[in-house]
Amino acid sequence: MENQNQASGSGQQTINIQVPSADNIASRRSLIPLLFAAVIIFFFFNFFTVSCGGQKVGSVTGINLVTGTELKDRDMFSGRETKGEKIPSSAWAIIAFGAAIIGLGAFLIKEKREALIGTGAGAIGFGSLLILQFAIKNAIEKKSEGAIQTDFEFAYWGALIAMGVAGFISYLRMQKTHNIVVSVSPPAQGSNSVIDSPVINKTIETTKESNFDLIGWISKYKKMFLGILSLALAIFAIYFFFIKPDPKKDAIKAASSFCKCNEKNNSQIIGLYEKFIEDLKQNKYKSKQDARMKLQALKDSNDIINYNCIIEAEATYKELRSKYLSDPKLLSDFENVFNSNKKDHCIASNENELNTAFTKVENQISLLKDSENQAETHFSDINEFFNAFKEAVKSKDKNRLASFVYFPFDEQGSKMSKEDFMKNFSLADEMIELVINATSLNHYEPNSFSIDGTGMGFSKHGDGYWKWDRIYYGE
C-alpha cells in the first residue's frame, strides 16, 4: 500500500510503503484459537504406538496420557482381550492439555492480554510435549530393557507443531509494527522529463513507537504474571500431592486392602458363630461330629467370599506395584513398607471379638454328647478315615485331631505322648494346605499310606482301625 504526500514548504514528496514483515503474520489473530483447538483435537488421536519384536502391542492417545489407561493384550489362543500394562497419567500431558485449553479460552473471550497468555500457553505446552516424549521413551526403554519400541504418531507431531506456531504468532502480536519511509527528490524545473531521469534518493528509516521498557512491561502486567505463577504452583501442587507416585502411600494403600479383607472376614465369621450358637441352643445337633461338620460347611461357604476379597486385594497390590517396576529403589521402598504394614499393622480391630465368639462355640460343642466318638474317629476304611482326618486338620482343633492319632506318636523318630502332643505339636499353614488339597494317598506298604509332600503316615493297627502314627518333615 502506498501513501503519497506533497510537502508544501520543501517541495519534497514522501512515499510511505507498508512492507510485509512479521507484523503481517501477527495480524493473523484468527489462526491462534484454531491452532490451540487443533492441539486439543489431536489429543483424542493416537500419540504413540507400542511394539515388541516388530509386532504392534497397543496404542495410546493423548487423552489416555491425561487420564491414565491400560494397554489391552490379546490371548494368543482364545483371541480374547486380557489386561495388559498399566499406564499412569502423565503430569506433562496434563500441563500441555491444560495450556491448550487456557490459550484457546483467552482468545475466545477476547482477553485484552490474550497475546501474552497465548505466548505463555504455547511455550509451556510446547516444552511439556517435548519433555513428555523423552519421559515416555526413557520409562519404556528402561523398563523393557530395549525390548519394546515406541513410535510417535502424526497426532503428537501435529499437536507439537500447532502448539509452537500458536505460541510464536502470539509472541509476534506483542511486537510493534515496522514502517519503512522512502524519500524521493522531484525532477528539477525546466528539465526534460523524458531524457532527464529523476534522481531518487531513498532513505530507509525503521522506527518504533517507543523503546521497549522491560521493567515497565513487567510492572504493567504483574497481576497477570502473579496469576500465571499461582496457576503453575497449583498445577505443581496437584501433581506433587495427587498425581506423583508415592511408594510409601501406595504401599500402605495396598496393605490396607488386605487388612480390610481380614476385618470383613472376621465380621462374617463372628456372625456365623453367633447363628451357630443359637442353633446349638435349640438342640439342632445330636453329636460333636454333627456340629463340627455343620460348622465347617458354614466356614467353607464363607471362605469363598473371603477368597474373592483376597483376589481383589492382590489385583490392587499388583496395580500399585507396577508403577515402580522401572525404578529398583522405589520398588524396594514400596515392598518394604507393604510388608511391614501387612505384617505388623494389619491386626483387625475385631480380633478379640472373634476369639471370644470362637471360645463360646467350642464351649457349646463340648456340652454335646460324645456317644458317636467311635464313628467319629475310628474308621476301618482308609478313605473314610482320610476324609474325616482332613476335616480335623482343617478345623485346627487339636483335641479333635488328637483323636485320630496313635500314641506314642512318631515325630522324626522321637516318640511323643498325648500330653506332649497336646502341649507342643502344631502344623504349619503350608502343611495344612497340603493336607486339605490332597486328593489321594500314596500306598507304600500293605497297611500303610502317606500324603505326598507332607511326611504324614497312616497305618492300620491291631484293633482294625486306621490311625495317624508318624510324621517325617524331610519326606
Written as tens digits, the pLDDT of the chain (475 aa) is 444 454 444 455 655 554 445 555 556 677 788 888 889 999 998 888 887 766 777 788 888 888 887 766 554 444 455 556 677 888 899 999 998 898 888 887 776 777 788 888 888 999 989 998 888 888 777 776 666 778 888 889 999 998 988 888 888 776 643 334 444 455 555 545 444 444 444 444 444 444 555 567 667 767 766 776 777 677 667 766 766 678 888 888 888 888 888 888 888 888 888 888 888 877 777 777 778 777 877 877 788 888 888 898 888 888 888 877 767 778 888 888 888 887 766 777 888 888 888 888 888 877 776 544 444 567 878 888 888 898 888 888 888 888 888 888 888 888 888 888 888 888 888 888 889 888 888 887 878 999 888 889 999 876 678 889 888 876 5
Residues 459 and 444: their CA atoms lie apart, in Å, by 11
Instruction: Fill in the amino acid letter for 336.
Output: N
State the pLDDT at residue 72: 61
**Strand pairing partners for 409?**
416
Q: What angle do the packed helices 288-321 and 247-281 form, to 10 degrees? A: 170
Neighbours of 474 (CB within 10 A): 5
> Greatest CA separation found in the chain?
153
**Strand pairing partners for 87?**
69
Helix (H, G, I), strand (E, B) or coil at 279: helix
State the pLDDT at residue 221: 65
State the pLDDT at residue 401: 87
State the pLDDT at residue 474: 63
Q: Look up the pTM and report it.
A: 0.38
Q: What angle do the packed helices 31-42 and 114-144 form, to 10 degrees? A: 20
DSSP character for 200?
Answer: P
Residues 394 and 397: their CA atoms lie apart, in Å, by 8
Query: What are the strands, taking DSSP E only, across 172-212?
Result: 179-184, 206-207
Instruction: Fill in the amino acid letter for 333.
Output: D
**In angstroms, what CA-CA distances link 345 with 249, 263, 319?**
14, 12, 21
Q: What is the DSSP string of 336-394?
A: HHHHHHHHHS---TTHHHHHHHHHHHHHHHHTS--TTHHHHH--SSHHHHHHHHHHHHH
Identify whether the C-beta of residue 454 lies closer than 8 Å to the C-beta of residue 399.
Answer: no
Identify whether the C-beta of residue 188 lies closer than 8 Å to the C-beta of residue 13.
Answer: no
Residues 209 and 217: their CA atoms lie apart, in Å, by 15
Helix (H, G, I), strand (E, B) or coil at 85: strand
State the pLDDT at residue 87: 77
Going by C-alpha positions, the residue among 192, 354, 351, 154 that lies closest to residue 271 is 354
Identify whether the C-beta of residue 119 lies closer than 8 Å to the C-beta of residue 127.
Answer: no
State the pLDDT at residue 168: 85
The structural domains of the chain, with segments of one domain joined by +, span 2-243, 247-366, 375-471
Q: How many helices (H) and strands (E) does the chain have?
A: 17, 15
State the pLDDT at residue 161: 92
Residues 100 and 35: their CA atoms lie apart, in Å, by 9
Residues 140 and 467: their CA atoms lie apart, in Å, by 59
Residues 429 and 174: their CA atoms lie apart, in Å, by 74
Residues 357 and 50: their CA atoms lie apart, in Å, by 55
* 111-118 long-range contacts, CB within 8 A, separation 24+: 113/221, 113/224, 114/32, 114/170, 115/170, 115/171, 115/173, 115/174, 116/170, 116/174, 116/221, 116/224, 117/170, 117/224, 118/32, 118/36, 118/166, 118/167, 118/169, 118/170, 118/173
For residue 386 the three cell numbers come to: 482320610
